[in-house]
Amino acid sequence: MTNAVRIGLPLTIGLAGFGLMVLGNDATLLGAGLVLVGVALLVALTNALMRLAFRSQRDREREAWARRYFDRHGHWPHRGAGA
């Protein structure tokens, strides 16, 4: 389901826009196609930024866990006590 939204939605919107630009025979359809292609790019960019934000949050949570581990044990989790 996530891939359908993340990849399928911008792809569908972009294809509809290109279809309007290619098959349309007046300026209104060309403009509508350009708007749809722009919207598809914005949706794809928003998806990419959201994925980066979630990945960054996971990194922060791992770092916070490692700091708590260090506070309790006196060494970092990936190193032994003698390192």
pLDDT of residue 4: 80
Q: What does the pLDDT look like over 10-23, one tens digit per residue?
A: 999 999 999 999 99
Taking CA atoms, 18 is separated from 5, 7, 15, 45, 65, in Å, by 19, 17, 5, 18, 48
Show the low-confidence residues of the chain (pLDDT under 70). 1, 79-83
pLDDT of residue 53: 83
pTM of the model: 0.67
